[in-house]
Amino acid sequence: MLSRGIISTPHPTSSLRLQPPTATVPRNVTVSLSRPLHSDYPLSISDSVLESRGFALRRSVEGLDLDELNGVFVAVGFPRRDPDKIRLALEHTESMVWVEQRRTRRAVAFARATGDGVFNAIIWDVVVDPSFQGIGLGKAVVERIIQDLVGKGISNIALYSEPRVLGFYRPLGFVADPDGIRGMVYSRKQKKKTGPL
């Protein structure tokens, strides 16, 4: 069984600063998780290795400073968010993983997923503090979110990202949808009418 997902833009969930997209990168790409769904989804970095490097994995809001998290969002290019709205969003989150730097007790990586708890989930807000990018923390949080979701039997996993970071998600098992399905996103922008209907 494959887990379907969507990578679309513009939605600010990327935590990586890579090269700008080339003209050949599509604006909307539907992807599928190519690994079979099972609860022992492979992790590229173990909890014990993360701990030996001075990081602690967290799966609840306990100890998460929302102002500091907001600072990470802003540092990677997200707009500043109302902390009350962040709190409300986290109350409706199916799965959450964040990485705390033990020395400072600050959140340095974060990802969450929402969904119906049975069939569908969407991964949101994948961010890594720019000072900690490139050492596997983004991969660590995304892998654990996927592990949580597939462990619950959720078979449709979507994520939204800018095209320039498709290369980050491919090694995690996401590939262009073999059926050619394209994702769509509702937009409130009104197009000018070009003539009578």
Contact assessment for residue 13 and residue 125, using Cβ atoms and an 8 Å cutoff: yes
Q: Are strands 156-159 and 174-176 parallel, antiparallel or unpaired?
A: unpaired
Contact assessment for residue 57 and residue 50, using Cβ atoms and an 8 Å cutoff: yes
User: Would you call 41 a catalytic residue per the annotation?
Assistant: no
Angle of CA points 1, 116, 112, to nearest 5°: 90
| Catalytic residue numbers, as ranges | 169
